[in-house]
Amino acid sequence: MATTVTGDLRTQAAHAHAEPTGLWSWITTVDHKRIGILYGASAFMFFLIGGLEALLLRIQLGRPDNTFLSPDAYNQLFTMHGTTMIFLAVMPLSAMFFNFFIPLLIGARDVAFPRLNAFSYWVFILGGLFLNASFLFHAAPNAGWFGYANLTSTQYSPGLNIDFWMIGLQILGIASLAAAVNFFVTVLNLRAPGMKLMRMPMFVWMSFITQALLLLAFPVITVALILLMFDRFFGTHFYVPSAGGDPILWQHLFWIFGHPEVYILILPAFGIVSEVLPVFSRKPLFGYAAMVFSGAFIAFLGFGVWSHHMFSTGMGPIADTVFSLSTMLIAIPTGVKIFNWIGTIWGGSIQLKTPMYFALGFIAMFIMGGLSGVMHASPPADLQQTDTYFIVAHFHYVLFGGSIFALTSGAYYWWPKMFGRMLDEKIGKIHFWLMLIGFNLTFFPMHFAGLLGMPRRVYTYSAETGLTWLNQLETVGALVLFLAIAAFLYNILKAWAGPRNAPADPWNGATLEWAIPSPPQPFNFAEIPVVHSRDPLWELKRERGGPLPEPARVSGAGIHMPNPSFWPALTACGVAAMLIGVMLLPKLGPWGIIAGGALLLFGVFNWAFEPA
């Protein structure tokens, strides 16, 4: 058929595949790989900001009765640290991998809705920038990432701080939902021939389950935030006890979202290590089906445990028992996963490369976080631990020791594919050891500080508490973590300055992305592959009796790819403007909302009627 393609189409295709450069090409791109890089770069920037915030907090706590930060600045920094790391760092870093690798792993040329994908990114970045713009007004959110009512009421938080927080989260929620619809459909509908559901790489499976969680969890916080918005802007009393409202309603709605949210943060990480461990053990993933179903089971149970965040509200023995048991139940599918990872490396021919270091570090750290999690699944234990540093230790072991270690593993693993450059192994291992030591130095003592009664979210402590040396250890740990991230940055810059030296398949990979050049061409696959097994590339290499030849870069003439479009970015501006218009009601009246809405409609209609 290639020979029958008209000359006109050929020039069009050649034009489309010339890898355009320049700012405009990035604003209008609908290529899932470029959008993935945009997500990754933005998320890494926010990760650095969030890390800097944490460093300031640790400096403040480095000695008793410190005055480095004011209580108010401390509140703003811990709130922004949590909000940033969850919504602007870990989630979009996962989104980077969804974007770049889901289509590659399932053998597709792009996502189901490329323009919607661009829209998600632009809404995300506008939301992230808006949230951080609060610093310019000295009004960063200051009520914690969970924003408990009625601390967030106009009575107790009259400033702009909470407005920035709720509008920012509302904008980010729209980005997540749009992306979730897109990836849910992509995984179901764009798989290459032969890629049955039970042949999908584990990262795709875990990402797929994550999209389902996003779809079902985000509408709930959307409603919770709408009610808060109405309380603050329109004088309703949803969370105001004096008018009969119930602040606990916020907690229920927030945690019905919030608990699935922690699985949204960790399931992609599970997926990444499930790709890395088999490749560097030279063994297929152990217990594939059990891994799929335990992931689905974790997600399912994740919707039935939210009240374990609320034991201290006094829900009564029945609710406490139910939520305690359902929480402990989650340890079972999680344990299945851990044993399967260990089963995967058991007896394997282990290649100790940097991605493997981080994946192994992930297993160890995540187990520790998981164990402390089971501890406070028990209400009597939780009542002692809640609101102390023990909790802070726990969730950093699962989010940093879990998610961040796995995401870093994924970064080292997939860097050559994304940029065509290898990251340095030696610096990578220095990065790993600094991170492992710094991480444990920072967060392990928090278990003890917490059990000794040190409360969270308090800007200082007195020397008489005897907590000084633990806190000093933690602060030293934070500085080591700073060095670890510096090592990573140096590694990135060094690779950037270096030549494009990465082969298509540097790790002897098992999945489809390693069959195409590094970095991939805009259309990914010159020919859509046909899949016969779970590890299609290993199968191919076995059949050939050796490594595959380096794939050639081809012209791709005749492959129709979607055209770049400006409308997603413009529509995203409309969405953000509309929501920010709500915040500006006292200043602009309804005109901000109307202008944003008009921009949104203009964008949507041009988008809908744009020739594909």
Partner 1 sequence: MADTAHAAHVGAHLETHSETSTGLDSRKLAIWTFIGSECLFFASLIGTYLVYRGRSLVGPFPHEEWVSPAGVHFEPILEIKLVTVGTALLLFSSLFVVLALNGAQRGRRGQLLTWLGMTILCGMFFIGMQVYEFTHFVHKGLTIKTNLFGASFFTLTGFHGTHVTIGVIWLITVFILALRRKLPPEKALNLEIAALYWHFVDVVWVVIFPVVYLMK
Question: Minimal CA–CA distance to 513: which of 584, 416, 588?
Answer: 416
- Give counts: helices (H), strands (E), the chain: 22, 0
**Measured CA distances, 82 to 127, 142, 266, 419, 461 (Å):** 15, 11, 16, 30, 21
Least distance CB 112 / partner 1 (angstroms)? 4
Residues 3-32, one symbol each (x = binds partner 1 by CB under 8 A, - = not), give: --x---------------------------
Residue 388 DSSP SS3: strand
Residues 216-245, one symbol each (x = binds partner 1 by CB under 8 A, - = not), give: xxxxx-xxx-xx--x---xxxxx----xxx
Piece in contact with partner 1 (CB under 8 A), picked from 90-98, 112-120, 469-477, 570-578: 112-120
Least distance CB 227 / partner 1 (angstroms)? 7
Piece in contact with partner 1 (CB under 8 A), picked from 190-198, 334-342, 351-359, 409-417: 190-198
Rounded Cα–Cα distance for residues 254 and 225 (Å): 9
Piece in contact with partner 1 (CB under 8 A), picked from 191-199, 304-312, 337-345, 446-454: 191-199
Residue 455 DSSP SS3: strand
Q: Does 456 bind partner 1 (CB under 8 A)?
A: no
Least distance CB 528 / partner 1 (angstroms)? 5
Long-range contacts of 77-81 (CB under 8 A, 24+ apart): 77/53, 77/140, 78/53, 78/144, 78/457, 79/140, 79/141, 79/142, 79/143, 79/144, 79/145, 79/165, 80/50, 80/53, 80/131, 80/132, 80/134, 80/135, 80/140, 80/141, 81/50, 81/53, 81/54, 81/57
Encode burial over 230-255: b for 16+ CB neighbours within 10 A, e otherwise.
Answer: ebbeeeebbbbeeeebebbebbbbbb
Closer by beta carbon to partner 1, 185 or else 451: 185
Rounded Cα–Cα distance for residues 41 and 37 (Å): 6
Return phi, psi of residue 487, to 5°: -60, -40
Q: Does 596 bind partner 1 (CB under 8 A)?
A: no
Piece in contact with partner 1 (CB under 8 A), picked from 72-80, 248-256, 335-343, 384-392: 248-256
Rounded Cα–Cα distance for residues 289 and 521 (Å): 33
Could you say which DSSP state residue 17 is in?
A: T
Least distance CB 324 / partner 1 (angstroms)? 23
- C-alpha count within 13 angstroms, C-beta hemisphere, residue 413: 33
Closer by beta carbon to partner 1, 410 or else 596: 596
Which of 162, 180, 202, 291 binds partner 1 (CB under 8 A)? It is 180
Question: Minimal CA–CA distance to 295: which of 256, 265, 337?
Answer: 337
Pair 141, 78: CB distance under 8 Å? no
Sign of CA dihedral 115, 118, 122, 124: positive
Q: Does 246 bind partner 1 (CB under 8 A)?
A: yes
Least distance CB 265 / partner 1 (angstroms)? 19
Which of 14, 41, 188, 364 binds partner 1 (CB under 8 A)? It is 188
Which of 174, 559, 578, 593 binds partner 1 (CB under 8 A)? It is 559
Contacting partner 1 within 264-323 (CB under 8 A)? none
Closer by beta carbon to partner 1, 9 or else 325: 9
Pair 256, 305: CB distance under 8 Å? no
Please tell me the count of residues contacting partner 1 according to CB under 8 A. Answer: 59
Which of 52, 185, 381, 383 binds partner 1 (CB under 8 A)? It is 185
Residues 388-427, one symbol each (x = binds partner 1 by CB under 8 A, - = not), give: ----------------------------------------
Contacting partner 1 within 494-533 (CB under 8 A)? 523, 525-530
Closer by beta carbon to partner 1, 229 or else 356: 229
Rounded Cα–Cα distance for residues 534 and 466 (Å): 55
Q: Contact residues for partner 1 (CB under 8 A)?
A: 1-2, 5, 109-110, 112-114, 177, 180-182, 184-185, 188-191, 193, 195, 215-220, 222-224, 226-227, 230, 234-238, 243-246, 249, 253, 256, 523, 525-530, 558-562, 605, 608, 612
